[in-house]
């Protein structure tokens, strides 16, 4: 078990691929074909293209505040690739690669950041909760979803994401504790990108690692190189299989880095040095996976450049469609909070309808 070799108290980081794309531990490479790794890489590229386009559009005043994902693609795509169709995804707000991996189309993503309520309405076959901005609150929801799977006798596993800042919130500790007590089939993934907005990870906690917080909850944990696609896939797959066997939750710390700002409202130059950022650029998950695939002869620089161009064009075309759809209809704000509109919202909605009739 990886959690025994690289557990919270072992003080070791699980890594399969180094920063150049070279394989360090051939015996630990997951059993996937080169084509499957290529498809995961393409999803990482699509994530970065969509991310870059969203930033450009927001700077043009055509999109609302946006949370960039650049630098964290492997942590997202690698973990999501280990999930099965029926598993549940419970996100925070910086999991673009996981959303796309799980079948959320880019139009839906852009609708959300555009401020349209339809951005939180997913197809019936996509098992994902809406984006959650209140820090760490989604983790308790994830435990509830996982416990429901147990109660219903289903084999589904819930995978929930949180940032490093979220581990300092009470909801994080409560969720881990509850999941452990009730043996919930849930995998918690910390995207440790080193900063909670402007607060560095070192100023958040005295804990040497974030994954060691699993010890207090009595559950397994593993520290993983979050920029290593293969390591993230392997660690998450083992944790999911463990949960599916009825052996309970696992905590994964994906050690990564946010290369961009916290959101488009943030200026990271005020709290971190350019030299630090450049050091992490050398660990870019996209760059190292591309090097691996080219080395294997299944990809090339020419194919890479062509695909990036296609993804860039696709992202712009998708947003133009979103932009043409118009602003959110006010009635949608009432309709999409609950499965059935509760009395207090029904009353407000009726007042709104009456107001419309009066002004017409």
Tens digit of each residue's pLDDT (9 = 90 or more) over 49-96: 999 999 999 999 999 999 999 999 999 999 999 999 999 999 999 999
Same domain for 305 and 334?
no
Same domain for 333 and 317?
no
In three-state secondary structure terms, 55 is: helix
**Residue 342 vs residues 117, 200, 317: alpha-carbon distances, Å:** 18, 42, 38
How many angstroms separate the CA atoms of 209 and 351, rounded? 52
Same domain for 260 and 338?
no
Same domain for 303 and 339?
no
Same domain for 188 and 270?
yes
Same domain for 275 and 341?
no
Same domain for 286 and 310?
yes
Q: Into how many domains does the chain fold?
A: 2
Torsion of CA 242, 244, 250, 252, to 10 degrees: 90
Q: Give the global pTM.
A: 0.94
CATH code, domain carrying 47 = 3.40.50.970
Q: Which residues are bridge partners to 160 per DSSP? A: 90, 188
Same domain for 255 and 308?
yes
Average pLDDT score over residue span 3-10 = 92
Structure tokens belonging to residue 173: 């500790």
Same domain for 207 and 321?
yes
Sheet with 88-90, edge to edge strand ranges: 88-90, 158-163, 186-192, 250-255, 221-225
Return the active site residues.
Answer: 258, 262, 271
- Domain range for 350: 329-360
Same domain for 199 and 154?
yes
Same domain for 314 and 343?
no
Q: What is the pLDDT of residues 260-313, one digit of tens each?
A: 999 999 999 999 999 999 999 999 999 999 999 999 999 999 999 999 999 999
Same domain for 131 and 37?
yes
Q: What is the pLDDT of residues 174-232, one digit of tens each?
A: 999 999 999 999 999 999 999 999 999 999 999 999 999 999 999 999 999 999 999 99
């Amino acid at each position: 078990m990886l959690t025994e070799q690289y557990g919270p108290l072992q003080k070791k980081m699980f890594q399969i691929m180094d920063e150049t794309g070279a394989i360090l531990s051939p015996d630990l490479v997951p059993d996937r074909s080169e084509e499957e790794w290529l498809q995961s890489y393409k999803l990482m590229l699509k994530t970065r293209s969509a991310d870059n386009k969203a930033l450009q559009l927001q700077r043009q005043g055509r999109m609302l505040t946006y949370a960039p994902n650049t630098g964290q693609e492997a942590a997202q795509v690698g973990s999501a690739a280990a999930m099965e169709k029926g598993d549940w995804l419970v996100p925070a707000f910086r999991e673009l690669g996981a959303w796309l991996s799980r079948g959320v189309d880019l139009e839906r993503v852009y609708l959300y950041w555009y401020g349209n309520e339809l951005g939180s309405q997913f197809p019936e076959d996509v098992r994902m909760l809406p984006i959650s901005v209140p820090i760490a609150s989604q983790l308790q929801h994830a435990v509830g979803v996982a416990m429901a799977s147990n109660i219903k006798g289903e084999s589904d596993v819930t995978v929930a994401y949180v940032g490093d800042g979220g581990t300092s919130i009470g909801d994080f500790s409560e969720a881990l504790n509850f999941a452990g007590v009730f043996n919930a089939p849930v995998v918690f993934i910390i995207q440790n990108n080193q900063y909670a907005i402007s607060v560095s990870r070192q100023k958040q906690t005295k804990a040497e690692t974030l994954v060691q917080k699993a010890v207090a909850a009595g559950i397994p944990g593993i520290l993983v190189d979050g920029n290593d696609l293969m390591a993230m896939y392997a660690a998450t797959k083992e944790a999911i299989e463990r949960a599916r066997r009825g052996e309970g939750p696992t905590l994964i710390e994906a050690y990564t880095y946010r290369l961009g700002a916290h959101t488009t409202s943030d200026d990271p130059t005020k709290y971190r040095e350019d030299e630090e950022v450049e050091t992490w650029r050398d660990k870019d998950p996209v760059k190292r996976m591309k090097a691996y695939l080219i080395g294997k002869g299944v990809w090339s620089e020419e194919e890479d450049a062509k695909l990036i161009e296609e993804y860039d064009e696709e992202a712009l075309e998708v947003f133009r469609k979103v932009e043409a759809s118009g602003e959110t209809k006010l009635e949608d704000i009432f309709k999409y909070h609950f499965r059935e509109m509760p009395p207090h919202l029904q009353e407000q909605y009726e007042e709104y309808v009456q107001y419309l009739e009066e002004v017409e």
